[in-house]
Structure 1
Amino acid sequence: MRTRAALPALAGAALLTGTLLSSPAEAAGSVHIYEVYYDSPGSDTGSNTSLNAEWVKIKNSTSSTVSLKNWKIKDATGHTYTFGDVKIGPGSSKKVHTGKGTDTGTDKYWGRSWYVWNNTGDTAKLYRAGGTKADSCTWSSRGSGYKYC
């Protein structure tokens, strides 16, 4: 049983390990991988249109805006996308497309010239700016070409 005297020590330990949430709103939800479209429709030709039909959708299920600055998306082999100075509002989502394009409020572009996500199985991982894993989503077969996480 923990006593009130132990709470400051626990809070200090949580702060040192980076597990303390920055706000009560973050405790009520998360920023997480919502969906991965890992197999763009048609043949994998490497065209920019095909590359941009491959994407990861990140969703903010908290009740406050969260900064994604320096958050990262990685695949199982370490291909990495790093968010710039981007914020995601409560209940909002952002898609990160594999190919090239002009960033908008809802769509970001990795700028790659070949596919990231393996059609037969892979893991999309989301990391906070400090390097701790926020979420991951794994698929193991071609299936429908997309996965809700």
Structure 2
Amino acid sequence: MRTRSLLMGAALAAGVVVVSQPAHAAGPAIQITKIYYDSPGSPDFGANSSLNGEYVRINNMTRKAVSLKGWTLRDKTNRADHVYTFGAFTLGAGKTVTVRTGKGRNTTTTLYWGRSGGTLAYIWNQVKDTAYVRNASGKLVDSCSYNSTRADYKVC
């Protein structure tokens, strides 16, 4: 502490203003920003349009593109069939990708899990669940949980 006081005193004597700011913890570079877990309409019978009403939005919060190849998105059930593995996909700097549960044609902004088969094809529980994104090494990058019967989605 004595050394720091001497350095600050010398800086002040030289006319230099020293401003100390608290360190802020940076959030993850890749973040889950929204889970739409209760697709529109009632009842949900597993039609592709209903399955695609269920989705997770993932954002790249950095200024650099990030390759998501081998990364996974999963729910809390930890069932093997509830894991989406990203293929060769790069999420641009500051960009968003939406991962929809049903089938469709992948684009630079929307990917499809490819699930079908009625009510058992849904991934996200309608009341309580957690989404996890892990990198290709299996390290947890981000997660988002919800526990609500009052909304159809969660902003993370």
Q: Give the TM-score band, short-chain normalised.
A: 0.7 to 0.9
Equivalent residue number for residue 8 of structure 2: none
- Give per-residue Cα distances to partners, 1:41-65, cap 9 Å, x unaligned: 1121210000001000010000100
Q: Contact 2:64–2:93 (CA<8 Å) still a contact in 1? A: yes
Equivalent residue number for residue 84 of structure 1: 87
TM-score, with normalisation over the residues of structure 1?
0.80
Q: Does the alignment pair 1:121 with 2:120?
A: no
Higher Rg of the two aligned structures: 2
For structure 1, the 5+ residue unaligned runs are: 1-26
Letter in 1 for 2:51: L
Q: Contact 1:29–1:62 (CA<8 Å) still a contact in 2? A: no
Aligned equivalents of 1:111, 1:139: Cα separation in 2: 23
Report runs of 4+ in structure 1 exceeding 3 Å deviation. Answer: none
Equivalent residue number for residue 70 of structure 2: 70
2:107 match: secondary structure: coil
1:134 match: secondary structure: strand
**RMSD over aligned Cα, in angstroms?**
1.2
1:90-101 to 2 correspondences below 5 Å: 90-101=93-104
Aligned equivalents of 1:142, 1:87: Cα separation in 2: 34
For structure 2, the 5+ residue unaligned runs are: 1-25
1:1-149 to 2 correspondences below 5 Å: 30-43=29-42, 44-78=44-78, 79-113=82-116, 114-149=121-156
Aligned equivalents of 1:126, 1:51: Cα separation in 2: 20
- Count of aligned positions: 123
